[in-house]
Amino acid sequence: MPPDLRDWLAEGHLAWFVIDAVEQMDVAAFYAAYRRDGLGRPAYEPSMMVALVLYAYARGVRSARAIERACEEDIAFRVIAAQLKPDHATIARFVERHEQALAGLFGSVLALCAQAGMARVGVVAIDGTKIHANASREATLDYEQIAREILEEAKAIDAAEDELYGDARGDELPPELASGQGRRKWLREAQRRLDDKRAEQARPIPRSRPARLKESKRRLQEQLQTECQANAAYQAYRARGVMKNGRRLGAAPKPYEPPATPQGTINTTDPDSRLVKGMRGWLQGYNAQAATNEQQIVIAAEVTVASPDFGHLEPMLIAARSELHSAGVTEIPEIALADAGYWHQQQMQRIIASGTQILIPPDSSRRKTARPGWDGGLYAVMRQALATDDGAELYRKRQQLIEPVFANTKFNRRMERFHRRGRSAVRTEWRLITATHNLMKLHKHQLATAAA
């Protein structure tokens, strides 16, 4: 008998834990994307592919070709894949096809952490880290540069076509279609093949009348709700009497004067990426945001394209509350810690009113003196709170809660650059990375509990 690969992995190996964790997750969204009529080529088991992707990301392996190679060379990968060897194209298409469902695994893993008592949110830390995009900084061009490249590419295409076709136009009909008799013969043959194909296809099953009526009723309700919301927004807009640009209703609008050339730049490799400022200068990438608790469990993970952290405090806390609620955690964060880059007075006041206390220094550590006018109100309250022993000790936890998570993710797990392109794809990749971070934390917690 051939050797049983399961005997080659220890009972407490991460691969077994990932397989067991996937069995407890709701993976119905992955199965819903496949046909149920038995037609077409059979797909790999979706739960197996989910476990394979999670384990690969946990080990810092995100390349589809590297995963394919590991399914042949690595025992743990072979156990998870049940000795199957999905090729790199299959793995890449699975990740692309199930982009939203893979991003939703973050909530499933967080729910498992909550069941183990690791999702307590007495104190949470919020911070962001800059990660390179799968794009070159040199590919960022303005309007004139793009236009120049288009003209140069057109000249190169014309030269290549002149060499290939000579004096011919290049779109001449083939000899069998050049005459009327040949075209009629070809069309009759094509019509015969089309009739044969239609005869082979089964007639679609019509939906029942109750189902059609239910669908029509749902659409009418959606249209009515949309119209009511639009009417309410318009009435509020009319009541203000002033438009967003400051012009009063009824006043003559100023004629729009477009610029001579479109302004700004765009990266032609990854148009969603931006030039963001990291610790070692500017880079072409994204601002990856995260919120962690005292157990260093990531409770929220999002990706933005803005370089500064200003304005992301409230959205991250809202995302954290939403993720916790979906995971079955009813409590809300008691205290939120963030650095001076997150100082946004209006957001902070709304957060405090919602029941979460904030501890953010109004002055950056790089600036020794306060700015003029920053000496009263909430600024003074924060300075007084940080000047106390309890406040200083509490704020020192911020670095301990979130900085090691970023360090482990970017350097130990080699997450220094995103592999995919586009903000939606990058968000899925970031949430998978943070989800596998939580998964490994949960695995270590269970090993420690079993040993005790």
pLDDT score, position 209: 65
Is the per-residue pLDDT at 259 higher than 90? no
Give the model's pLDDT for residue 408: 93
All structural domains of the chain: 5-97 (no CATH), 118-136+273-431 (3.30.420), 139-198 (no CATH)
Statement: residue 54 has pLDDT above 70: yes
* pLDDT for 301 beyond 60: yes
Q: Does the pLDDT value for residue 380 go beyond 70?
A: yes
pLDDT digits 0-9 by tens, 17-44: 999 999 999 999 999 988 887 777 788 9
Asked if 308 contacts 341 with a C-beta cutoff of 8 angstroms, the reply is yes
78-121 pLDDT, tens digit per residue, is: 999 999 999 999 999 999 999 999 999 999 999 999 999 999 98
Q: Among 74-88, 263-277, 368-382, 432-446, where is mean pLDDT lowest?
A: 368-382
> Within a 13 Å sphere around the CA of 133, how many CA atoms are in the beta-carbon half?
33
Q: Which residues pair with 142 in a beta bridge?
A: 265
Contacts made by residues 262-265, CB under 8 angstroms, sequence distance 24+: 262/143, 263/143, 264/142, 265/140, 265/141, 265/142
Per the prediction, the chain carries an average pLDDT of 88
pTM (two decimals): 0.77
Q: Note whether 428 and 410 are within 8 A (CB).
A: no
pLDDT attached to residue 367: 52
Q: Over the stretch 143-165, which tens digit does the pLDDT of each residue have?
A: 888 888 889 999 999 899 888 88
Lowest model confidence (mean pLDDT) among 114-128, 155-169, 201-215, 258-272: 201-215
Task: Specify the pLDDT at position 365.
Answer: 62
Q: Check residue 374 and give its pLDDT.
A: 60
